[in-house]
Amino acid sequence: MTLFSSSMTLRAATPISDAEFKELRDFIYQRSGIWVDEKRKYLFENRFHKRLATLGLKSFDEYVKLLKFDPRSAEEMKTLWEIITTNETSFFRDIKQLESFQKVILGEVLAEQRKKGKLELNIWSAGCSSGEEPYTLAMLISESLGLELPKWKVLISAVDLSPAMIAKAKEATYGDYAFKTTTEEQKKKFFVPEGANFKVKPELARMVSFQQMNLNDDAAVRRVPKSQIVFCRNVIIYFDDAMRTKVARAFYDNLLSGGYLLLGHSETLHKISTAFRPKFIPGAMAYRKD
């Protein structure tokens, strides 16, 4: 006895041939460094199925051709990044890492800058998604600097592959979901209510500058201002080893000496780069450029 009036099939999408899958996968890899495993072929079929229908395309082959040769390509790339990237994040995510970062790393970097008499701080947030991470960093910095804050020039360069995420980040307005790892106290301190949502206080938002960027784009990466700190959390898990090595080098080149790289909770530079000196901080690992 079934509740379904007609039979339904598990397959809902046009099949992608092995050759088409490889072509699309390689195209995505060349452009973004994101490596899509063969095992995710069916997910791919499903995700792109609707897109193909919207564009009135009959096969994945036509889609790849559009991406490669069509004048609409640049526009379509924006949608492509939407489809292949995920954006799980929230304010104060991985608080143990952030607390030790604030206490140990940020403390050390700020002290160093004061000693040099250069009240400047540059941070690069690579893979900032909808902005929760760079804004969280702005909040931690304002907490650490306290009354000193107006004397400092703080710049957080936040970049992400997805233009839609960057647009959302610039809005600086968030619903409940972004606050699942935030205390009421933090919410009161750093946000102003706006209807049912909350907006990052303007003096904090001012520290962050957003830009769409592909970490595989060497020229763009080189234009990021030299930083004392780089945050790149939950990004390199989507890369293969070659691309991980490449971005690790880019972060190294971007960092000023004595600067630190911080990765996501389960990510390491193990097997990727030996250029950095790993430094244990409670709940996390930081990588120092000596």
Report the C-alpha gap between 237 and 34 in whole angstroms: 9
Would you count residue 270 as binding other proteins (CB under 8 A)? yes
- Site residues for other proteins, 271-290, by CB under 8 A, read 280, 283-285
Does the footprint of other proteins cover residue 86 (CB under 8 A)? Answer: yes
In contact, 106 and 78? CB cutoff 8 Å: no
219 binds other proteins (CB under 8 A): no
Residue range at the interface with other proteins (CB under 8 A); choices 92-100, 144-152, 163-171, 191-199: 92-100
Give CA–CA dist 228/152, Å, rounded: 14
Residue 221: burial class (beta carbons within 10 Å; 0-12, 13-18, 19+): buried
- Identify the residue among 55, 57, 64, 95 touching other proteins (CB under 8 A): 95
Interaction mask 46-65, other proteins, x per CB under 8 A? x-------------------
Report which of 176, 112, 167, 101 is spatially closest to residue 136, judged by C-alpha positions.
101
**Helical (H) or strand (E) element with 254:** helix 241-254
Q: How far apart are CA 10 and CA 280, in angstroms?
A: 48
CB closer to other proteins, 152 vs 287: 287
Residue 43 binds other proteins, judged by CB under 8 A? yes
| DSSP 8-state symbol, 104 | I
Kindly indicate which of the ranges 16-24, 149-157, 193-201, 258-266 contains the residues binding other proteins, using the contact rule CB under 8 A: 258-266
Among 26, 38, 42, 153, binds other proteins (CB under 8 A): 42
Residue 263 contacts other proteins per CB under 8 A: yes
Q: Any contact of residue 83 with other proteins (CB under 8 A)?
A: no
- Asked if 161 and 213 touch (Cβ cutoff 8 Å), the reply is yes
**Contact, 126 vs 251, CB < 8 A?**
yes
Binding stretches for other proteins (CB under 8 A): 1-5, 7-13, 15, 39-40, 42-43, 46, 86, 88, 92-96, 176-177, 180-181, 234, 237, 263-268, 270, 280, 283-285
